[in-house]
Amino acid sequence: MITVDLKSRKPIYEQICDSIKQLVLTGALKPDDRLPAVRKLAVDLAINPNTIQKAYMMLEAQSIVYSIPGKGSFVSSEAENLTNVRRAEILNQLKTLVRESRHLGIAENEISSLTAQVFAENDDTVQQTI
C-alpha cells in the first residue's frame, strides 16, 4: 500500500505522510484504524525506523493520527476533515493554473475537453471508492 521512491527529491518521511493521507482520503484507512507498526513498515520499506517515526510524528502534529504509547498509532476521527481541506486546496490550485493557462492563450474549451476526458477515464481507484 505504502511505497517510497528513494531516488526522489521529496524527503522519504514526507512521501510516507502523503501515502497515508492518500489512504485516508480514499477510505482505505478509517478513523481508529491502526497504522502499520513502525518497525514492521521500516522492514517492509527497507528504510530507517527513525524515518517512519518522524512521518508518524508529523501526522500526529497535524491531528491526522493519534498514538497510544505501547499500542501503536491510529487514524484520528478528525481525519475526515482531510477531504474538505484537500478539496479546498485543489480548487485553489486549479484556479491558479487555469488563470495561467488563460495568460498563455490556452482556450477555455481546451480545458473543458481535458476535464471531460479525465472524467471519462475508467480508473480502477475510482471504481473502488464507489
Partner DNA sequence: GTGGTCTAGACCACG
Partner DNA sequence: GTGGTCTAGACCACT
Residue among 2, 37, 106, 111 that touches DNA (CB under 7 A): 37
Among the listed residues 38, 67, 77, the one whose alpha carbon sits nearest the alpha carbon of residue 2: 38
Cα–Cα distance, 110 to 120 (Å, whole number): 15
CA-based diameter of the chain, in Å?
58
Report the distance separating Cα 2 and Cα 39, nearest Å.
14
Distance in Å, CB of 27 to DNA, minimum:
21
Query: Does 34 sit near a copy of itself (CB under 8 A)?
Result: no
- Closest CB 66 distance from DNA, rounded Å: 8
Asked if 44 is part of the footprint of DNA (rule: CB under 7 A), the reply reads: no
For residue 16, the minimal CB distance to DNA (Å) is 9
- State which of positions 38-77 bind a copy of itself (CB under 8 A): 58, 61-62, 66, 68-69, 71
Residue 76 in contact with DNA, rule: CB under 7 A = no
**Nearest-10 Cα torsion for 14, 45, 47, 23:** 20
CA-based nearest residue to 79, from 28, 4, 8:
28
Rama region for 62: left / alpha / beta (φ>0; ψ in -120 to 50; rest): alpha
124 interacts with, out of a copy of itself, DNA, none, CB within 5 to 8 A per kind: none
Q: Return residues touching a copy of itself (CB under 8 A).
A: 6-7, 9, 25-26, 58, 61-62, 66, 68-69, 71, 83, 86-87, 90-91, 93-95, 97-106, 108, 110-112, 114-116, 118-119, 121, 123, 125-126, 129
